[in-house]
């Protein structure tokens, strides 16, 4: 009985030590002051290897599009939607049966915000995204952020 238990324990430990959590996207969050009451918020995704991240404007029926949600802040007003700045690739994806819009490498999601008055505050929220490579897709992930506006 002890030998079976030790064997099972060894298999579990070995399997756990070889399994790796794949996280091919590293996020960076910054704010650029344009004037005393206007900022550009940069949500920067650095996508490694052959992985790609999907556009906010991916059609229905395709992969999960990138979605940015900002927490309510009575001192901050969003100006339009976030712009995508990066090398956009469009291709037909047979797996989903639709034309997809995706980014590899680095992509910036840039949101302009306006303060009601020149005060210090934070803007917070989350970004939901999905990444795939040529052979697999990872489940959608959500990353929270908080950026100081000074």
Per-residue pLDDT of 76-103, as tens digits, reads: 999 999 999 999 999 998 878 899 999 9
Domain chopping of the chain, boundaries: 23-149
Which of residues 12 and 106 earns the better pLDDT score? Answer: 106
pLDDT at 94: 84
Per-residue pLDDT of 7-45, as tens digits, reads: 343 333 333 333 355 899 999 999 999 999 999 999 999
Please write down the HEC assignment for all residues of the chain. CHHHHHHHHHHHHHHHHHCCCCCCEEEEEEEEEEECCEEEEEEEEEECCCCEEECCCCCCCCCCCCEEEECCCCCEEEEEEEEEEEEEEEEEECCCCEEEEEEEEEEEEEEEEEECCCCCEEEEEEEEECEECCCCECCCEEEEEEEEEC
Q: What is the CATH code for 23-149? A: 2.60.40.1250
**In the predicted structure, residue 107 carries a pLDDT above the cut 80:** yes
């Amino acid at each position: 009985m002890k030998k079976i238990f030790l064997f099972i324990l060894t298999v579990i430990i070995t399997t756990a030590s070889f399994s790796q959590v794949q996280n091919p996207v590293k996020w960076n969050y910054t704010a650029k002051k344009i004037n005393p009451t206007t900022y550009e918020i940069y949500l920067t995704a650095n996508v490694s290897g052959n992985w790609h991240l999907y556009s906010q404007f991916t059609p229905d029926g395709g992969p999960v599009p990138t979605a940015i949600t900002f927490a309510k802040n009575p001192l901050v007003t969003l100006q339009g939607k976030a712009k995508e700045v990066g090398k956009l690739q469009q291709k037909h994806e047979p797996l989903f049966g639709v034309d997809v819009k995706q980014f590899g490498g680095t992509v910036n999601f840039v949101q302009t915000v306006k303060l009601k008055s020149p005060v210090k505050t934070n803007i917070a929220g989350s970004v939901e995204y999905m990444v795939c490579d040529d052979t697999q897709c990872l489940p959608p992930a959500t990353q929270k952020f908080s950026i100081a506006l000074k």
